[in-house]
Amino acid sequence: MNAKQWQAIEQAREVLGLGDRATLAEIKRAYHRLSKLHHPDTAEAAGDNEQMYRITAAYELLSQYCNEYRYPLKRDDAGSEELDVYDPEDWWQARFGQDPIWSGKKTRRR
């Protein structure tokens, strides 16, 4: 990410009143809270359209950022043959299997 994109994320974070770290649920709660306050149909102030546009743009930017940088929680079976995924036990044995302390093999002492 370049500096301009980070600056936009910082501004969006400030518009929604979020801290340095926020989950997607916190972002949604902040958006809903602010949209209730500034929505033109419910707000008493006449000029809340611009503020509502800023809130919506900030929410969309932060939501997109969170969606782009999330980790997959489910394995994609379509490309499973191309994945190079280790079984945890195989990984451990490949690195520490020969070591008598970590492998569980006992050595004889004379």
Residue 57 lies in a domain: yes
Residue 86 lies in a domain: no
Residue 81 lies in a domain: no
Structural domain boundaries enclosing 43: 3-68
Residue 89 lies in a domain: no
Q: How confident is the model at residue 6 (pLDDT cuts 50, 70, 90)?
A: confident
Q: How confident is the model at residue 36 (pLDDT cuts 50, 70, 90)?
A: confident
Q: What pTM value is reported for the model?
A: 0.59
- Number of separate domains in the chain: 1
User: In 3-state terms, the chain is what percent helix, strand and coil (to 5)?
Assistant: 55, 0, 45
**Region 10-24 average pLDDT:** 89
Residue 78 lies in a domain: no
Residue 74 lies in a domain: no
CATH no. for residue 18? 1.10.287.110
Render pLDDT for 92-107 as a digit per residue (tens, 0 to 9). Answer: 677 666 666 655 555 5
Q: What is the DSSP letter of 77?
A: S
